[in-house]
Structure 1
């Protein structure tokens, strides 16, 4: 279907019908639609209805004259876009000026020259359409620039003034009525970016070189805009000109900054994360190597942070991390040493992972400087954290390594700082340690032992040895203590002293302890059935096992599967483990007693030895530690302590077992003191299953 060509509308306004008729005949065409009006008032009505493209308006009409009508038409919708031509017999200059002041586009004088009239009207229509298209394109361009946050300016290199779009005044925060100069525009540039722009402008002036740069603008209200400026230089009409566009890229920059933040910063503490820290450490190494100086790397770890997370929840743990980060920041910021840094001091502190933080200290001249800051950091954690109406006490362990003495690359420095921190934990926490080679060797041996321990459990390398416990009067075997041994493939038979601490720290003790409990109960049940004797089996519980919420269920399951009578199982617990958290300890002890098992305090006298827990805890046996037995024959104080323990046990109706009895003289003294049972090398060493089976048969 052919496109329909829209006719242009011509409004003829004249009080003379003959003139209207002649104009209509002259303009009649398939391209034009003619509308007539006999007065100014009628013209306003017809204009509103038809919205003409051109109005031919007679000046001299009764009532509303042409000048007043023209002004009224301009105020109507589409009044600005319509071409209004005044048709007048007046040729006075003042009348012509009045016509243009009323809003006329052009004028035609009477009498009309009809051969030229038609061409004159068509020319005005064509010119008006061109102006409308230009105006439309200008509006579209302005809208596109507004959507794209784009403004433009021009400068002829000679004048001090800039020609620019109105939006540029809004961008800079200037009133639109002012004359914008190069100098006033430059004052809006951020001081840190101004030199860069001035250099680019000079190259444009003297070398005719266009530029494409980004910089910041500080608006009158203090807000900062990021803009991208592109320019083009041309030679027109004998003059050089530069045209530039400013694109507001603030949103893009903010997005880039957010992306950078999430990539390089920890969102919880606002500290640099591991990724940024690695880059900073690489930069520090390169700078120190270039200037032949040393720097220190501190590795900080919160002590027992896992306990806070598990006890109070992660929301409390997160707040502890935030407050810890702030304390570390303040310590580092206050340091004169760190003030020498050539980048933001806050960026010298990073959160590496979890509860681990790092601190970089530049240009170290004396090790004492680092020790001073380490002490300051430890002191900062001496005051409690107050969170959700709770006072929480947290300490830190700090490992310190120095470049270049302790390493020349990121991996080595981090590893050695971690080794030093781990050594600080070994030393009791709440202290700092500098890295040394001996630490590294120790850690390597420890890691090797840890790996071997994991293999030992899966490869059945553990064995249970048993040491008999004898009745002091009849000298008959009444009980056995289960003792763990590790038959290492290369190091031979190892006692717990070589590996139990590593098993505790790695958590392997839980699996190992459960295995020992099951093995011992099953084996002793077999001996009970073979001999008909109700031998008692004593099994040591580690502090980690004792705090397990499922210990009760573990013991119940073991008794059920092994068939062992509950009263023949005695669980040995240290004083330290029992008093760690009495709110949980007392209910657990009574629950174990309800199962029917016996409870013994191991190494009695070496821990707290508080009489209150003997009253409150359901204890059956006190084991006198070997330290009081070794010199009981020659040392009156040891003898008195042993006697006190025995008398205390008798008064509380508890059984006593003396450990470490190695001579007949020791046994005689203990027998005279009233000790109920003996255990030690004088009677028997710990024996494997095969040898103890023979002993029990005889």
Structure 2
């Protein structure tokens, strides 16, 4: 096509702006050198443009609101429009293309299945074939126009003789030749079934036979073969063509190569059931495999084992080395685990660094232990990526079933509980699921929910246990102890609910309430001239390491008006285990506020000796576990004396917790312990009783 002296004027009749932008983009990729694209965004504007033609070619969408683009093509034919029209559609109907061409369209293109080059070719062919038609006029041109349009069509078209035996092909268009690789001379006179090759038992073939027997249309998808032997998916429409008397004389077949679409659908189906990173089954497919495993276990009276594997220390790899390295580790872990299980077993990835292994056919449940041990050893081997040498271990939870379970996915939950038990036992090991474990977790969930209710109203109390100067016998302070009196379950021990609150983060609002309340109570005592020394408040490691902790302490002092030296904060050695350098920095900031600092439960951890000289603390509190057997166990006595001596050399005071007998007090006095705290002197008491106790002690 020679370049026109003026730009080629094209009009797109389309009510969807996104489709207009898509066509405009495709035209930019076409080989049309000089054109102008206009846009009519409604059926009415398109109709007006056809009635007042000023464009060289019209691209018409099939769906225009409630109207049809076919009506515009019919209207154009009735008004003898000389310019060519091309129908665009996003639906695949059996005879839509045939209808459009019969009405006078030059071509029918399916949205999403043509590119810019193919669009340009369709426009070029339509314009070239329109010129002779204009010269000859429109009389007796319908058949010739249809012929040319079929030849220009992007879809393969085949016409078979319905009056002859075996329906021989009498016509194929160039698109048919392109799709199949066969020339027209090689297929004329043959039945189109030769494209099926040896795959003659496809479901769609029977549908074609029924349609031909009833002289009705058919739409099937067949696996066909090109001349070079390569396979393609043929989206085939077949329709009968009757003559003027209604006798079917021919069949027209319109085919489209949808191999790329089939490949995409196959990928979507695969990705819907498999993990994209590792290629392992995902949760959806795992559920199906679990159900199958339960059926096998029931049918053959075998054991089914489910293992949940969670990697230890994987998050720091992602955080420090990036997700690209983390992904490589996950892929390698998946491959190693796949090598350790049987072909009939299932390895799936739940997400993140969690995997599940299903062993559906075990003679003995204990056989799962051999698999678990192999997995742990395999995962623990070093990982080498270029110059990186990484180490990862795994914690595994195992549960067994005989397959008689209404919801197989519950086995995943059971294995998950056991896996967390393995984490608590030091990681890099496996644990079995037990009913006791389930009860324990259930109790924790109940406590968590009840805690949340109590946090809303702060339904807690503070009791105070006085601290006694070992030399003078005077009260020199007290420790605030949290109490939770549940309205239905009664008093719940802090040993039960504090660990739950720390795991869930609920400890933050609770700890803040304790801090604020203790400061307010000690201020009340100060205002009543009942000063006895600082109030000690236990601080959770979770709360202590929050970025704004120092600010919350300052706010509690400011709101209550309590002098800083009348507040003492007790931390445990676990703070140092989490982030020692940050913890020491925070302690120095607190020291600058003027509050007292004590190291609680001293002697039960492992890190304090190396950091003790750097901590700006005032006191150490000997854990009650050493005081309890102080008189009977020489080792506890030696440890206690060692702690007191070391603390005094570091110029620190020593508080002994849990002093309950005179013998313990005498031993501690002889060992130069500074402060006593325990039932021998006073039990923890509500704040309302503390003032009376202090006044009584003052009078004595």
Partners of 1:186 and 1:194 within 8 A in 2? no
Match of 1:110 in 2: none
Q: In 2, Cα distance between the equivalents of 1:278 and 1:257?
A: 20
Residue 256 (structure 2) aligned to one of 236, 247, 250: 247
Q: Equivalences for 1:277-676 in 2 at 5 Å?
A: 277-282=286-291, 285=294, 295-303=304-312, 316=322, 320=326, 322-323=327-328, 325-327=330-332, 329-337=334-342, 339-340=343-344, 348-351=347-350, 356-383=354-381, 395-405=393-403, 407-410=405-408, 412-608=410-606, 610-676=608-674
- Selected match of 2:179 from 166, 171, 186: 171
Q: Say yes or no: does 1:226 pair with 2:233.
A: yes
SS in 2 for 1:531: coil
User: Structure 1 215/277 Cα, relative in aligned 2: closer, same or farther at 3 Å?
Assistant: farther
Greater Cα offset, 254-263 or 625-634: 254-263
After alignment, is 327-336 or 591-600 more displaced? 327-336
Tell me, which stretches of 5 or more residues in structure 1 are unaligned?
A: 4-76, 83-124
Cα 1:157/1:627, change in 2 over 3 Å: farther
2:528 is paired with a residue whose SS is helix
Task: Note if contact 2:310-2:419 (Cα within 8 Å) is conserved in structure 1.
Answer: yes
Distance verdict in 2 for CA 1:253–1:555, change over 3 Å: same
- 1:396 shift after superposition: 4.0
Which residue, 220, 225, 245 being the options, matches 1:213?
220
Name the CA distance, whole Å, in 2 between partners of 1:133 and 1:642. 110
Check whether the contact 1:528–1:535 (CA below 8 A) recurs between aligned residues.
Answer: no
Which structure has the bigger radius of gyration? 1
SS at match of 2:646: helix
Secondary structure class of the residue paired with 2:606: coil
Q: Say if 2:158 is the partner of 1:152.
A: yes
Contact persistence 1:559–1:565 (CA under 8 A): yes
Moved more, 682-691 or 382-391: 382-391
Q: How does 1:91-130 map to 2 (within 5 A)?
A: 130=140
Report the CA distance between 1:613 and its aligned residue.
0.8
Cα distance between partner residues in 2 of 1:400 and 1:171:
55
The alpha carbon displacement at 1:509 in A equals: 1.2
| Aligned-pair Cα RMSD in Å | 4.4
SS in 2 for 1:475: coil
Pair 1:532–1:208, CA change in 2 (3 A): closer
Following TM superposition, by how much is the alpha carbon of 1:543 offset from its aligned partner in structure 2, in angstroms?
A: 1.9
- CA positional deviation for 1:574: 1.5
The answer to whether the 8 Å contact 1:480/1:535 transfers is yes
Distance in 2 (CA, whole Å) between partners of 1:626 and 1:406 is 49
Query: Residues of 2 paired with 1:138 and 1:627: CA distance?
Result: 100
Give yes or no for contact 1:151–1:247 (8 Å, CA) kept in 2.
no
Q: Shift of the alpha carbon at 1:133?
A: 4.8
Residue 644 and residue 436 in structure 1: after superposition, are their counterparts in 2 closer, same or farther (change >3 A)? closer
Shift of 1:515: 1.2
| 1:681–1:222 Cα change, 3 Å | farther
- How has the CA–CA distance of structure 1 residues 564 and 436 changed in structure 2, closer, same or farther, with 3 Å as cutoff? same
> SS where residue 380 of structure 2 aligns?
coil
Query: Partner of 2:685: helix, strand, or coil?
Result: coil
Deviation at 1:447, TM superposition (A): 1.6
Whether the 8 Å CA contact 1:302–1:394 is kept in 2: the answer is yes
Change (3 A) 1:543 1:317: farther
| Equivalent in the alignment of 2:59 | none
Q: Quick one: distance in 2 between partners of 1:180 and 1:555?
A: 93
**SS of equivalent to 1:226:** strand
Q: Point out the more displaced range, 686-695 or 279-288.
A: 279-288
Post-superposition offset of 1:538: 1.4
Whole-angstrom distance in 2 between the partners of 1:172 and 1:306: 53
SS of 2:578's partner is coil
Check whether the contact 2:204–2:221 (CA below 8 A) recurs between aligned residues.
no
Note closer, same or farther for the CA distance 1:415–1:465 as it changes in structure 2 (3 Å cut): same
> TM-score, normalising length from structure 1?
0.69
| Cα contact 1:157–1:240 (8 A) shared by 2 | no
Structure 2: state its 5+ residue gaps.
1-50, 52-127
- Give 3-state SS (helix, strand or coil) of 1:138's partner: helix
Contact kept, 8 Å, 2:475 with 2:532, in 1: the verdict is: no
CA contact (8 A) 1:233 1:243 kept: yes
Query: What CA distance in whole angstroms lies between the structure 2 residues aligned with 1:220 and 1:677?
Result: 98
Asked if 2 retains the 8 angstrom alpha-carbon contact of 1:332 and 1:373, the reply is no
1:142 maps to which of 125, 144, 151: 151
Q: How does 1:188-203 map to 2 (within 5 A)?
A: 195-196=201-202, 200=206
Following the alignment from structure 1 to structure 2, what is the Cα–Cα distance between the partners of residues 498 and 369?
36
1:34-45 matches, within 5 Å, as: none
> Residues of 2 paired with 1:684 and 1:561: CA distance?
30
What do residues 374-428 of structure 1 show as CA deviations (whole Å, max 9, x unaligned)?
3344445435678999877654443334444572324543443443334444444
Residue 444 of structure 1 deviates from its aligned partner by 2.1
Q: Secondary structure at the match of 1:340?
A: coil
Decide whether aligned partners of structure 1 residues 323 and 642 sit closer, same or farther in structure 2, where only a CA change above 3 A counts: same
TM-score, length basis structure 2: 0.68
**1:546/1:383 Cα in 2 relative to 1: closer, same or farther (>3 Å)?**
farther
Match of 1:62 in 2: none
